[in-house]
């Protein structure tokens, strides 16, 4: 990977950066063939925190809105994130490969051509310390709580509570996460709550 080094970050020379309002935090890695597109509007923003990893082929496109990515976030290969109004990803969250996260829906309310009816956007908020499995779709208007795990291939159509394990189409809570520590001495799980 040929790369630029900007304020401690590594940005591949094949990455495309388009638009006025894009910030990348220190020690962030942006791999080959990534597209960061904030468009031409001064209101469109992409902000990426420090020590993030934006892997090969990822597309971040605001469509006139905002995308805010916290610190130490990883976004897997070929995932597409569309901001529209606002898309927020909290610190230390993992988005696996081939995910589609879109903060908008097409209007299809009458017999007019759907393409010309416009879009609505409520925004998406993915909390801190989440893990979104591969090939997952997250639809507009969804809030995913801190510490949530979303199983691979899920379609998230409604809010998911914090510290839950969820999966399916439509995505539903399977169980809650129980915090635990691995004992370094004997490898047994020790419950902390």
The pLDDT score that the predictor gives to residue 188 is: 56
The matching CATH number, chosen from 3.30.70.1450, 3.30.43.10, 2.160.10.10, 2.60.40.10, for 3-191 is: 2.160.10.10
Chain-centroid distance of CA 114 in Å reads 27
Contacts 24+ apart (CB under 8 A), 162-165: 162/127
The residues annotated with a catalytic role in the active site are: 106
- Residue 17 has, within 13 A of its CA and on its CB side, a CA count of 16
**Per-residue pLDDT in tens (0 to 9) along the chain, 193 residues:** 555 556 788 999 999 999 989 999 999 999 999 999 998 888 899 999 999 999 999 999 999 999 999 999 999 999 999 998 999 999 999 999 999 999 998 888 878 888 888 888 999 999 999 999 999 999 999 999 999 999 999 999 999 999 999 999 999 999 999 754 344 445 555 454 4
State if pTM tops 0.85.
yes
Q: Can you read off the two tokens belonging to residue 70?
A: 């916290």
Q: Residues 83, 65: contact at Cβ < 8 Å?
A: yes
Burial label, 167 (beta-carbon count in 10 A; 0-12, 13-18, 19+): middle
Q: How much is the pLDDT for 128?
A: 98
Are 163 and 145 in contact by the 8 Å Cβ rule? The answer is yes
Indicate the domain borders of the chain.
Answer: 3-191
Q: What is the model's pLDDT at position 8?
A: 82
Tokens of 54: 């934006």
C-alpha to C-alpha distances, 127 to 7, 10, 109, 159, nearest whole angstrom: 27, 26, 32, 11
Cα-Cα-Cα-Cα dihedral of 93, 94, 98, 100, to 10°? -10
Cβ(73)–Cβ(91) below 8 Å: yes
């Amino acid at each position: 990977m040929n790369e630029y080094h900007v304020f401690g970050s590594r940005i591949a020379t094949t990455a495309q950066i388009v638009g006025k309002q894009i910030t990348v935090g220190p020690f962030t890695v942006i791999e080959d063939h990534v597209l960061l597109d904030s468009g031409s509007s001064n209101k469109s923003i992409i902000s990426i925190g420090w020590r993030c990893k934006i892997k090969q082929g990822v597309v971040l496109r605001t469509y006139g809105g905002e995308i805010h990515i916290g610190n130490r976030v990883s976004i897997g290969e070929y995932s597409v994130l569309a901001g529209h109004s606002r898309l927020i990803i909290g610190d230390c969250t993992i988005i696996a490969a081939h995910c589609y996260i879109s903060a908008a829906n097409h209007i299809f309310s009458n017999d007019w051509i759907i393409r010309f009816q416009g879009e609505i956007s409520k925004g998406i908020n993915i909390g801190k310390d989440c893990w979104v499995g591969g090939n997952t779709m997250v639809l507009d208007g969804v809030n995913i709580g801190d510490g949530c795990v979303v199983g691979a291939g899920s379609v998230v159509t409604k809010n998911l509570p914090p510290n839950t394990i969820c999966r399916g189409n439509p995505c539903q809570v399977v169980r809650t996460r129980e915090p635990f520590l691995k004992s370094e001495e004997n490898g047994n799980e020790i419950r902390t709550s």
